[in-house]
Structure 1
Amino acid sequence: MLLLIILIPLLSLLFFFFFFLNSNSNSNSKVPKSYPLVGSFFAFLANRKRPLPWLSGIMQVSPSAIFVLRRNYSTRQVFSGNPAVVEHILKTNFSNYGKGHVFNRTLTDFLGHGIFNIDGDTWKFQRQVSSHELNTKSLRKFIETVVDTELSDRLIPILSSAAKQGTVLDFQDILQRFAFDNICKIAFGFDPAYLLPSLPQAKFALTFEDGVRISSERFSAVHPVVWKFKKLLNIGSEKRLKNAISEVREFALNMIKEKKQRLGENESLDSLDLLSRFLSSGHLDENFVTDIVISFILAGRDTTSAALTWFFWLLWKNPEIESEILNEINEKSESPVFDEVKDMVYTHASLCESMRLYPPVPIDSKEAVNDDVLPGGTVVKKGMRVIYFPYAMGRLEMLWGSDWAEFKPERWL
């Protein structure tokens, strides 16, 4: 009875806060109020399905494009679209800002200790190894061959067939399949054949998608204890995640064993994928190689397809820009592939402008290792997260002028 007496008014108060904030969240772009114990939790909850527009609206009316939110009773987060702040955390004072415990704990199950989930010396080592391999001419040639084959044998025939027959395609899905085939061939030397004319439900692609989606959903959980509890009991989404991780890693380990055997037979390095290159360079630890290759697949899969999807959508909305790009392609198409891409200035500018409005990674964050003061005076305490916000930055009048909403490649020329 005593418990009921305490709970009823408490629940009533919580519901009042939720519905009050929910009814005003879509129209109010100001920094939401912070309440005792709960902070701005209910504002986050009310806008959980539209976080980018909501947070961008706050950024657009915030002085110096920076604001602080208290997510709950203990968590304060700094959001910034100020270039000086971004440069500070990603360059000037880079050593003080890492991915942090929360980020690492959330993604370790899927990414392990791959380059996108680590800090410090381990990150530096993986970056050196990756940079060395990615900058070789032989790998560039390999990537060129892979992408050209995927274009000529799969993507163009599918689009040509759809155009002739008047078939409607989900272009985002097509480009995701295109990107996934490419990155798997480049990373593993494995062809998932996800972009066949039948648009198959390739098992590895679907399993990888489940792993990425469920891991990402952990960040939007009401509280981390929710997904941790489900993981402990091995139920619901966490059970599915466990199965997906097991299948992805088993696949990767089998590929590693196969590559080791083939490398022992002196396969030509010029035709090798990233996995083979890591192994042939002496990096034979299976967990290390698995983690880094899974990270590369994650990096190349969604970012590439998202960038291309928005790019072609913007060209469809702006036919005059499409014509300019086609003219430039026709002029430069006689050159070798890398030379012609390098010389396509207007096409490059159009891609930059597309990613200004729709960046493949719209928001990212770092955790402060020690206390710090950001440019402009915002105090950051050890353990606080500083969130830099490319999506909002592309919409700031202070950076791009009053015509920021227009698609204008000329900004970059």
Structure 2
Amino acid sequence: MIQKLLFSLLLIIFPLLFLFVLAKKSKSFSRKKPSSSSPLPKAYPLVGHFFAVYPHRDRRHQFSAEVLQNSPSATFVFRGFFRSRRVLTANPAAVQHILKTNFPIYQKGDSFKVPLSDFLGQGIFNADGDNWKFQRQVSSHEFNTKSLRKFVETVVDTELSGRLQPILSIAATNKSVLDFQDILQRFAFDNICKIAFGYDPAYLLPSLPQSKFAVAFDNAVKISSERSTTMITIPWKVKKLLGIGSEKQLAIAISEVRNFATNIVKEKKKELSEKRSLESVDLLSRFLSSGHSDEQFVTDIVISFILAGRDTTSAALTWFFWLVAKNPRVEKEILKEINETSETSSAYNEVKDMVYTHAALCESMRLYPPVPADTKEATSDDVLPEGTVVKKGEKVTYHPYAMGRLEALWGKDWEEYRPERWLEMEDETNKWRFVGRDTYMYPVFQAGPRICLGKEMAFLQMKRVVAGVLRRFRVVPAMAEGVEPEFISYLTSKMNGGFPVTIEKRVETESN
């Protein structure tokens, strides 16, 4: 029996080693960026597009964008081992078809849910069908309350004035270099833990402390993401079975996250049982007070919200501050708007009136979306609007990162960071008016029935941070001349190696 098992493993491993060696040999010419006239990747019998895809495994989103730029329909079918297929699209009609028209057909599917289930459980971002509908209904009700919005404003402003601004002031005085990506992640982590749990991890302090929960959360995100994006699933499944390597690390990280979260749920239950009325307005208190007392259900959904609230807003702001620093004209316009609105508006209206800043944030997410690609699995045979056949069980990926780089959608100047493409000047008031784009052309917050519940909350947080930072400081990238950050992605996008910056205090004449 053991001999048969070893023989079967050898039959799997030797072909994979052979393919790995060949792929390494093809690396030198496959990494070249294709021009607009470059041929599309070539498929081979049995291995499909493996030789084209494997050398780009560390830049898969950039490679996918290049392929879709060269595809006439902005849709391409990647072929895998033994005639398996994966459909990739940046076509807005196809995106609408997937996310709205034929929404019931395109689900998360096991290929997405299984790699992430240990970490996210049955939370809303890892759920399908009736489970998803129920969580969506519950969450939607809790998000659409004025009290939650006010709570979010209070949390953000407290973290901004009490922690972020003092840290930036110290850095400016000491002329020290900060990893601004790390700072923004810490800021977002404190915020979302307060909003979701009513718990303050105090992760953004001048000492930049380590937090077991935050570090474990990072590890769980990274390794779970690697699971979900790998071309070959056997290695991680074997490592999980044996409890070794990255799977051992993942198990430790998930245990830390879930134990921490479960303890908070228990403490919150106890706290609420001792109160006569609901005083807390965090999401956990809302869920528990509305009758949803199952600890695993509540823990799963709150962990999902932490993932969404921490990584997406910090990713969006990291790329935003880099783009603004590279474009002084845009920074000047944003600063002008911040100063004008702060003189005449309340905190609520200040955010509402920051039209140019809103456009600048949308433009930065066009080029660097927090979630660069999203994959669904077909539950039955289908045909996309441009004619691509999708078979039951096949994966279909729509690609916001590639969509933001299509000339057909954004014009010949698509590479430029230009917030004005989102704006029109009103003749009567001589002020900018924001002009939104179709959500299927710009699915950065998804679209259709699964459109992001936290979209407005995210813009509220980001605008408050932008105003609070740029009004007082200039963020200056501390990179070598000509060096640009590398876009990478786990479950959400990041700058590879962080975002080193120096901070400069603005003089009064500059900020007025």
TM-score band by shorter chain is over 0.9
Task: Report the 3-state secondary structure (helix = DSSP H, G, I; strand = E; otherwise coil) of the residue aligned with 1:53.
Answer: helix
Give the CA deviation at 1:20.
Answer: 4.8
2:205 is aligned to 196
Counterpart residue identity of residue 260, structure 2: F
In the alignment, what sits opposite 2:91? 82
1:184 partner letter: C
- Quote the residue 2:509 is aligned against: none
Q: Does 1:332 align with 2:332?
A: no
1:185 and 2:190 correspond: no
Give, in whole Å, the separation in 2 of the partners of 1:11 and 1:298. Answer: 34
Q: Cα offset for 1:345?
A: 1.1
Q: Distance in 1 between matches of 2:277 and 2:416?
A: 49
Match of 2:321 among 288, 312, 316: 312
C-alpha deviation, 1:37, in angstroms:
1.6
Q: CA RMSD in A?
A: 1.9
SS of match in other structure, 1:351: helix
**1:275 equivalenced with 2:284 (yes/no):** yes
Superposition deviation, residue 13 in structure 1? 6.5
Indicate how the Cα distance of structure 1 residues 397 and 298 shifts in structure 2: closer, same or farther if over 3 A, else same: same
Q: How does 1:328-407 map to 2 (within 5 A)?
A: 328-333=337-342, 334-407=344-417
Establish whether residue 51 from structure 1 lines up as the match of residue 60 from structure 2.
yes
Structure 1 position 190, deviation (Å): 1.1
Gaps of 5+ in 1: none
Q: Distance in 1 between matches of 2:16 and 2:339?
A: 66
Matched residue of 2:387: which SS?
coil
- Identical pairs, percent: 67
Q: Is residue 161 of structure 2 the alignment partner of residue 161 of structure 1?
A: no
Contact 1:174 1:195 in 2 (8 A): yes
TM-score, structure 1 normalization: 0.95
Contact 2:87 2:396 in 1 (8 A): yes
TM (normalized to structure 2)? 0.77
**Shift of residue 404, structure 1, vs aligned partner:** 0.3
- What displacement does 1:267 show? 6.5
Is structure 2 residue 226 aligned with structure 1 residue 217? yes
- Equivalent of residue 31 in structure 2, options 6, 12, 26: 26
Distance 1:348 1:70 in 2: 40
Displacement, 1:292? 0.1
Aligned counterparts of 1:148 and 1:200: Cα–Cα separation in 2: 21
Instruction: Kindly indicate whether residue 110 of structure 2 is the aligned counterpart of residue 101 of structure 1.
Output: yes
Query: Equivalents in 2 of 1:240, 1:196: separation in Å?
Result: 27
Does the residue aligned with 2:293 lie in a helix, a strand or coil? coil
1:25 Cα offset (Å): 1.3
Alpha-carbon shift at residue 340 of structure 1 (Å)? 1.9
Q: What letter corresponds to residue 252 of structure 1 in structure 2?
A: A
Please list every run of 5 or more consecutive structure 2 residues that lacks an aligned counterpart in the other structure: 1-6, 424-512
Displacement after TM superposition at 1:19 (Å): 4.0
- Output aligned runs, 1:55-74, within 5 Å: 55-74=64-83
Q: Distance in 1 between matches of 2:21 and 2:176?
A: 50
Structure 2: how far apart are the matches of 1:341 and 1:162? 27
Cα offset, 1:16, TM superposition: 6.6
- For 2:428, the equivalent position in structure 1 comes to none
CA distance in 2, matches of 1:260, 1:109: 24
Deviations 1:30-58 (A, max 9, x none): 43221122111232221111111111111
2:482 corresponding residue in structure 1? none
Structure 2: distance between partners of 1:16 and 1:317: 41
Partner residue, 1:253: 262
2:272–2:278: 8 Å Cα contact kept in structure 1? no
Q: Is the 8 A contact 1:374 1:380 kept in 2?
A: yes
Q: Deviations over 1:157-204 (max 9, x none)?
A: 001111111111011111111111111111111111111000011111
Question: Is the CA contact 1:221–1:227 (under 8 Å) kept in the aligned structure 2?
Answer: no
The separation in 1 between residues aligned to 2:301 and 2:52, in whole angstroms, is 37
> Partners in 2 of 1:310 and 1:290 — Cα distance?
31
AA paired with 1:191?
A: D
Distance in 2 separating the partners of 1:186 and 1:265: 21
Distance (whole Å) between structure 2 residues aligned to residue 143 and residue 40 of structure 1: 47
Inter-CA distance 157–409: structure 2 relative to 1 (3 Å threshold): same
The 1-side partners of 2:163 and 2:265 are apart by: 27
The aligned residue for residue 496 of structure 2 is none
In 2, the alpha carbon distance for the partners of 1:260 and 1:310 equals: 39
Q: 1:16 to 1:190 in 2, by over 3 A?
A: closer
- Which has more helix, going by share of residues? 1
Identify which of 238, 242, 256 aligns with 1:229.
238
Deviation of 1:272 after TM superposition, in Å, equals 2.3
Greater CA deviation, 66-75 or 179-188?
Answer: 66-75
Listed one character per residue, the Cα deviations across residues 87-134 of structure 1 (whole Å, up to 9, x for unaligned) are 110111111100011111111100000000011111011011111111
> What is residue 310 of structure 2 aligned with on the other side?
301
Decide whether aligned partners of structure 1 residues 235 and 13 sit closer, same or farther in structure 2, where only a CA change above 3 A counts.
closer
Q: Equivalent residue of 2:82, what SS?
A: coil
- Which of 285, 298, 301 in structure 2 is aligned with 1:289? 298
- Give the whole-Å Cα distance in 2 for the aligned partners of 1:25 and 1:87: 32
Compare 68-77 and 157-166 and name the one that shifted more.
68-77
